[in-house]
C-alpha cells in the first residue's frame, strides 16, 4: 500500500500543471466595466474588437461555402461565386475599418504619460493589428482565387465571331489589307495561391483548408489582445 501511494505521488508530481485557457476576445465593459475606464479608448477599442470578431464570422462562412460549392453544377457555381465575392469584399472592408480604429489607439498610446498604461495599450493594439492583418490577407487570397477563376473562364471561351481564326482582311479574298497596328498589350498575369491544386473544386477545398489553418494564428493574436484589453482602457479617473 505504501509503495502504491509513493508511485501515485510521483505520478502526480510528474504530471504537468494545467495551463489556463486564454480568454476569448470580447467587447469591453458589456458585462463589467473596468475601474477607471477611459471612455474614448473604449469606443475605439470596441470598434476594432467588433471588426475582428465580425471577420471571424465571415471567414467561417467563407470556409463553409468553399467546401460546399460545386463548380461542375452551373447553379452552385453561380450562387457560390456570388456569395464568396461578397464575403471577400466584406472581409476586406471590416479589416480596413478595424485597422483605422487600431491606428487611433496607437495615436492615443503615443500621447499617454503613463509608461505602464502606454505599454498595455501597445500590446493590445499589436494583438488586434495582427489578427486584422491576417484576416485581410485571407480576403486578398480569396479575391485572387476568384479572379483566377474568371481568368480561366475567359481563357477557355472560343471566339464565336471567328471560330476558325480566319483573317477578315485576307487580300487573296479581295479584302483590303489593314494598316499596321501595335501588338495588343498582354493581359496582366493572373494567379492564385491555390491554382496548383488542379480543378476548381480542388482549388476551393485547398483554399478552405488554408484559411482554416490560419485561424489558429488569428485566435492567438485575439487572445493576446483580450489579455491586455481591460488594462489598455483603464487608468482614467
pLDDT tens figures, 113-170 = 889 988 999 999 999 999 999 999 999 999 999 999 988 877 765 544 555 555 544 5
More confident position, 177 or 51: 51
Least confident range from 24-28, 178-182, 192-196: namely 178-182
By 3-state DSSP, what share of the chain in percent is helix, strand and coil, each rounded to 5? 70, 0, 30
Number of C-beta neighbours around residue 106 at 10 A: 15
Distance between CA atoms of 123 and 232, rounded to whole angstroms? 8
pLDDT above 60: residue 20: no
Distance between CA atoms of 56 and 51, rounded to whole angstroms? 9
Find cell 501595335 and name the residue.
182
Count of helices and strands (H, E) across the chain: 5, 0
Find cell 479584302 and name the residue.
175
pLDDT above 70: residue 196: yes
Report the percentage of the chain scoring pLDDT > 70: 72
Distance between CA atoms of 81 and 150, rounded to whole angstroms? 10
**Nine-digit cell at 95?**
479589416
* Cα pseudo-dihedral 151, 152, 153, 156, rounded to 10: 120
Torsions phi, psi for 104 (to 5 deg): -65, -35
Give the predicted TM-score (pTM) of the model: 0.77
- Radius of gyration for the chain, computed over Cα atoms and rounded to the nearest angstrom: 28
**Nine-digit cell at 21?**
485557457
pLDDT above 50: residue 84: yes
**Nine-digit cell at 148?**
483566377
CA 23 to chain centre: 21
69, 85 Cβ separation under 8 angstroms: no
Amino acid at each position: 500500500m505504501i509503495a502504491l501511494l509513493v508511485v501515485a505521488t510521483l505520478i502526480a508530481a510528474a504530471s504537468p500543471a494545467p495551463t489556463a485557457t486564454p480568454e476569448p476576445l470580447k467587447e469591453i465593459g458589456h458585462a463589467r466595466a473596468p475601474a477607471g475606464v477611459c471612455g474614448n479608448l473604449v469606443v475605439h477599442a470596441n470598434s476594432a474588437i467588433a471588426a475582428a470578431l465580425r471577420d471571424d464570422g465571415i471567414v467561417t462562412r467563407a470556409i463553409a461555402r468553399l467546401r460546399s460549392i460545386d463548380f461542375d453544377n452551373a447553379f452552385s457555381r453561380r450562387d457560390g461565386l456570388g456569395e464568396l465575392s461578397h464575403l471577400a469584399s466584406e472581409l476586406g472592408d471590416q479589416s480596413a475599418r478595424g485597422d483605422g480604429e487600431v491606428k487611433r489607439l496607437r495615436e492615443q498610446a503615443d500621447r499617454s504619460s503613463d509608461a505602464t498604461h502606454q505599454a498595455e495599450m501597445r500590446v493590445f493594439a499589436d494583438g488586434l493589428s495582427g489578427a486584422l492583418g491576417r484576416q485581410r490577407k485571407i480576403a486578398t487570397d480569396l479575391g485572387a482565387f476568384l479572379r483566377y477563376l474568371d481568368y480561366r473562364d475567359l481563357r477557355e471561351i472560343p471566339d464565336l465571331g471567328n471560330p476558325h481564326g480566319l483573317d477578315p482582311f485576307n487580300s487573296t479574298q479581295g479584302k483590303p489589307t489593314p494598316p499596321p497596328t501595335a501588338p495588343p498589350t498582354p493581359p496582366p498575369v493572373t494567379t492564385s495561391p491555390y491554382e496548383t491544386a488542379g480543378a476548381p473544386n480542388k482549388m476551393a477545398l485547398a483554399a478552405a483548408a488554408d484559411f482554416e489553418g490560419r485561424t489558429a494564428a488569428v485566435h492567438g493574436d485575439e487572445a493576446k489582445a483580450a489579455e491586455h484589453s481591460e488594462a489598455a482602457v483603464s487608468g482614467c479617473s
